[in-house]
Amino acid sequence: MKANTLSLLETEQAIYEIKTDFQQRLAEKLNLYRVTAPLFIDNSLGIQDNLNGFENPVSFKISTIPDREYEIVHSLAKWKRMALARYKIDPGLGLYTDMNALRPDEENLLTGIHSVYVDQWDWELSMHDNERNYDFLIDTVRKIYDCIRECEKQVCSDFGLRPFLPGKIEFVHSEELLERWPGLTAKEREDKACKEYGAVFITGIGGKLADGTLHDGRAPDYDDWTSPGHLGRKGLNGDILVWNPVLKRAFEVSSMGIRVNPQILVEQLKIRNCEDRLKYPWHQMLVKDELPQSIGGGIGQSRLCMLLLQKKHIGEVQAGVWPDKVLLDADELGLVLL
């Protein structure tokens, strides 16, 4: 499949349509309220997403509050769960918001699918404790994938593009991928799975595999990635990936999962040698059962626009800054970066 030939203005119109259409569908299927969210947070609260542990957040001080330091969010993974409690949202209902983040340590700017600026729909759904299981997870994943396909159908109809996403999404554990393709890297295994299935939800992201490696990194204090061992290799978290026919590779659209309960929080912090985080107010709230059980995740806005508009580079749907090599390569390929 060739990249599309929408004009710059048509691209902007299509971006607006996708962002408007998708969030409405998501809110309806998952029963979500839209809320406002912070761009930066007090770093003493323990609600920053520490990602893989080495990324440095953009931090600053405010002249009129000199005794505190603030950080631009990496994501709202933990903030959302606290918001569920604050808004008193009952099980079966949830919230979503625009999450805008800066990740200046991003090392993959030459790939065409990563950027320093991260924009996504962050969502969180309050659950009953008895819904804390694999079946509830896959049901939620299917609803999200349906939203993506419905949005694709609409934007393709409106802008003369051809839909390509398969009718259903498959589910596979990261350990199964390792068993099938032991000689490949995790990303190469994702390529294989996506090419075979078209769309796949890979579970068990964050815990150690049989060979001692991680399929991908995941912070220890929001997704539950230790339960796969308890559940017969099913897993309670994962990533939605699809085969991108323009790039001819696997393409991640969303990371999500059922969140840790107090017991799993402590276990995962021990595994990552992060037990010192238990001193933070957010972690204390969770240990004391003051936060609701939830499922949540993030869905990349620019990622989804890039995918559905069949673009070659994320800079075609997002204004950003790029290394000189990226700018030169884009110019040679005739790509217009925003």
DSSP string, 137-168: HHHHHHHHHHHHHHHHHHHHHHHT------SS
- Of 17, 21, 49, 223, catalytic: 49
Angle at 318 (CA atoms; ends 315, 323), nearest 5 degrees:
40
- Of 252, 293, 294, 301, catalytic: 252
Give the pair of three-digit tokens for residue 255.
Answer: 């990371």
Give the pair of three-digit tokens for residue 192.
Answer: 């294989």
Is residue 239 annotated as part of the catalytic site, yes or no?
yes
pLDDT tens sequence across 102-126 = 887 766 666 777 888 889 999 999 9
pLDDT tens sequence across 153-184 = 999 999 999 999 999 999 999 999 999 999 99
Is residue 120 annotated as part of the catalytic site, yes or no?
yes
- Of 227, 255, 293, 318, catalytic: 255
Give me the pLDDT at residue 58, please: 81
Nearest to 225 by CA among 156, 291, 179, 271: 271
pLDDT band, residue 231 (cuts 50/70/90): very low
Give the pair of three-digit tokens for residue 74.
Answer: 């990496």
Q: Which domains does the chain have, with CATH numbers?
A: 8-333 (3.30.930.10)
**Amino acid at position 305, single letter:** C
- Of 48, 239, 259, 294, catalytic: 239
Cβ-Cβ contacts under 8 Å for 69 (sequence gap 6 or more): 42, 43, 44, 59, 60, 61
Is residue 290 annotated as part of the catalytic site, yes or no?
no
Is residue 103 annotated as part of the catalytic site, yes or no?
yes
Give me the pLDDT at residue 230, please: 44
- Of 103, 132, 218, 259, catalytic: 103
Q: Is the pLDDT of residue 82 over 90?
A: yes
Residue 224 contacts residue 212 (beta carbons within 8 Å): no
pLDDT tens sequence across 70-81 = 888 888 989 999
Give the pair of three-digit tokens for residue 294.
Answer: 């939830």
Is residue 63 annotated as part of the catalytic site, yes or no?
no
Distance CA 249, CA 247 (A): 6
